Amino acid sequence: MRLPFTHDQFLDVFAAYNSALWPVAALLWLVTLAALALLARGRLAPRLVGALLAAHWAWAGMAYHLAYFAAVNPAARLFGGLFILQAALFLWFGVRRPGLQVTWGSRPHQVLSLVFCVYALAYPLLALATGLHWPRMPSFGVPCPTTLLTVGLLLGLGPRRLRGLSVIPWLWCLVGGSAAGLLGIRPDLMLLLGALVLAWYVVAPGPLEGSRAA
Number of domains in the chain: 1
| Residue 145 scores a pLDDT above 80 | yes
Q: Could you tell me if residue 1 is inside a domain?
A: no
Residues 6+ apart with CB under 8 A from 41: none
Q: Could you tell me if residue 214 is inside a domain?
A: no
**In terms of residue numbers, what domain contains 28?**
7-209
Cα-atom radius of gyration of the chain, to the nearest Å? 16
Torsions phi, psi for 133 (to 5 deg) = -130, 140
The amino acid that residue 189 corresponds to is L
For 99-106, what is the mean pLDDT? 90
Reported as a single tens digit per residue, the pLDDT across 152-200 is: 999 998 655 667 899 999 999 999 999 888 899 999 999 999 999 998 8
Phi/psi-derived region of residue 97, left when phi > 0, alpha when psi is between -120 and 50, beta in every other case: beta
Residues 6+ apart with CB under 8 A from 56: 28, 32, 87, 141, 146, 149, 150
Q: Could you tell me if residue 155 is inside a domain?
A: yes
Q: Tell me if residue 197 falls in helix, strand or coil.
A: helix
CA-based diameter of the chain, in Å?
A: 49
The amino acid that residue 35 corresponds to is A
Reported as a single tens digit per residue, the pLDDT across 27-86 is: 999 999 999 999 999 999 999 999 999 999 999 999 999 999 999 999 999 999 999 999
